[in-house]
Each structure stands twice: as C-alpha cells, then as structure tokens.
Structure 1
Amino acid sequence: MEKAHLFLLMGILLVLCGCVTSDMSELEREVEQILTRPGGRIAPIPAIEPYEAYTYQSGKEGARDPFQLFYEKVKLDLAEQDEDEGLTEAMEREIKYRNREELESYELDSLRMVGTLEDSDDLWGIIRDPDGTVHRVKVGNYLGRNIGKILNIYEDRIELREIIKNNDGRWEERPAAMALYEE
C-alpha cells in the first residue's frame, strides 16, 4: 500500500512541475493572433419545405389493407375455398378457425432450428426466422405456410405434421422435420 502512495505522490509532483513556468508570452501572442483574424460569415438558415400529407390508396381492387391483421385475411381466404375434399373435421378446425402464429408467415425451409431450452419438464425449440429474429416454440405451436403443427421437440430436431393439398386437390397430412442448424 505504501508503494501505491509513493507512486501517486510522485505522479502529482510531476504534474505540478509542468505548471511551474510563469512565462505566458507565447500564449499571449497566440491569443492576439487569433483575435486579429477576420470573422467568418454564417450561412443563412435553409428554408423548410412544407409537409405534404399523403393518403394511402392501393390502386388494386381487392389488394391487402395494410391496417388489417394478417391472420384475419388468411382466415378469410381459407374460409372462401370450396375444395374441402378429404378434409376431416379436425383438419378443418385447424385450417379455418384458428388464429395464425407469426412463424406461419414463413416457408418452413427458411426457418432454422438453432437450439433448445429446457424448463422443468418442458423442452422448447429455438427458431430463427429469415429476418434474424429468434422465437421460442413448444409442442402444439405451428411453423411454415403448410399448417405445420409441432408434434415433438428433441435436442437435435423438431418433428411436425403439415396439412397440404396433394396433386388431386385433396387435403392430406404429411410428416416433416426440422434438424438442428449448425453454422
């Protein structure tokens, strides 16, 4: 501790030694030189353009209203479909009468499983969307545009079931999986 005090005292003495000189002539000359310089002209303030109000008009009949919630639009579009062939009652409830989740607006291939999170008895999946936002999902959540319901979450993959239309126009379920993405 005494060494620290000694070094501190020596530092203070060195700083004070630099303040000893009383010759201010160089400083006074510099100040006089600065004061004799002509002053500059300040530019006038630029004119402010008036704000022009803009009213949004889509220009297309039936175009999406940007102020309408997305899932309501999708729900309406799916409800208008008449091709219900092969659609079970449970599938119909999943497709038509359920609120959409955020990750359903992305293609399944564009989503990446980047990890898992365990909380007591629950295992959560960590998903990164194409925008770089990280989401936490659990069994029962939906991913992708094909109504992909999460069935199981494991350390290295997520298993889900998608509802799609096959080539005949019939609704069918198909299994899908998302593996852990390693960079």
Structure 2
Amino acid sequence: MLLLLLALLSACSEQKQDLDSYIAEVKTNTPVNIEPYPEFTTSPAFTYAANERRSPFQRLKNAPQAETTPATPSCPQPNVAHVKQPLEHHGIDAMAFIGNIKKNQQSWALIQTNDGRLYRATVGDYLGLFYGRITAIKEGQITYTEMLPDGTGCWQQKQATLSMQDNAGENNG
C-alpha cells in the first residue's frame, strides 16, 4: 500500500520542462498588432422645441365632432336593454341545431356551439351576435330573425333558418 502511495506522489513531481519551453516559444513569437478602435465623433445635442405645441395624443379643443345620425323612431331598433343570453355570445356560424324536444306543447331546440357546449332554447330566446330572436321551432329547423345595422342608424330585419343537417359554419341565411 505504501508503495502505491509513493508511486502516485512521484508522478506529481515538479517536472515542468515541457511547459517552460512552450511558454518561451510563445513569448518569442511576434505579437499581433491590434488596430485601435475608431474614434467616434459626438453628435450635436438635439433640443426638443415643440413643447408649446399640442400633443398629437390629445384631442383638438375646438375640432368639429363627427355627426352621429340619431336613430329614426320609425325604423326598427334592437332591444338593447334585455339581459344577454348565453347563445348571444356566439355567432350563428358557430352553432349547430342538433335536435328538438317537445314537452307539454312547449318546443325546445338543442343547439351545440363550436366549443362543444349544449344549450336549450325556445321561441323568443335570443341567439347570435346580431340580436337574433327565435321565431319558430319546427321539426329539423329553427327560424330566427336578426337585426342588422344598415349604417344610417336604422336596423334591418333579416329572417333566416338554422337546419338540423347544417354543421357549424354552414348555416343558411
């Protein structure tokens, strides 16, 4: 055991002749000349001189406002005061009519949205993004009326159907 320890310690002797010769060789090589960094010229300081002008992010004080056309009382308007129902958060193209149930003379439509949720709706319920309202539920078909803005402050009624064979994204209008 002692012999093994002695052999290991002798391997760690101070024989660094190879290292000394390598260092001397590196020192004799000519050093590489490194070019100095280019000298940067300073730019003149910029002084912001528009402090007294209006900020582009503020409204004009006396600017004419865009005219809004008031709604004509004689044209149809959607009922914006009603409480939103769950099917009003989905577009008609994201719904599929998958069945209907009739109980005690009351018809219910089963509507599945493209996120996989199933909803029950009846005549008078709202659906879609344009104030759609179910007007009839028949075997295999829902009839509804939507209110579409015409750009003049009025709304146009459009009757459409959602058929049972339609898939989400393929509804008839």
TM-score by length of 1: 0.49
2:104, 2:73 → 1: CA distance? 37
Aligned AA for 1:141?
D
The answer for the alignment partner of 1:118 in structure 2 is 102
2:72, 2:98 → 1: CA distance? 35
How far is the alpha carbon of 1:181 from its aligned partner?
2.9
Q: Secondary structure at the match of 1:91?
A: coil
The answer for the alignment partner of 1:149 in structure 2 is 133
CA contact (8 A) 1:86 1:172 kept: no
With a CA cutoff of 8 Å and minimum separation of 6, indicate the structure with the bigger relative contact order: 2
Q: Structure 1's 132 and 166: CA in aligned 2 closer, same or farther, altered over 3 A? A: same
Aligned AA for 1:139?
V
Show structure 1 runs of 5+ residues with no match.
1-81
The answer for the alignment partner of 1:178 in structure 2 is 162
Q: Secondary structure at the match of 1:139?
A: coil
| Aligned residues: CA RMSD | 2.3
2:148, 2:166 → 1: CA distance? 28
Number of matched residues?
Answer: 100
1:104, 1:83 → 2: CA distance? 26
How far is the alpha carbon of 1:176 from its aligned partner?
1.2
Q: Structure 1's 182 and 107: CA in aligned 2 closer, same or farther, altered over 3 A? A: closer
Show structure 2 runs of 5+ residues with no match.
1-67, 168-173
Bigger radius of gyration, 1 or 2? 2
Aligned match of 2:77 in 80, 85, 91?
91
Aligned match of 2:148 in 133, 142, 164?
164
1:106, 1:84 → 2: CA distance? 28
1:126-153 deviations in Å (ceiling 9; x for gaps): 0001111111100000110010000000
Give matches, 1:129-148, under 5 Å: 129-148=113-132
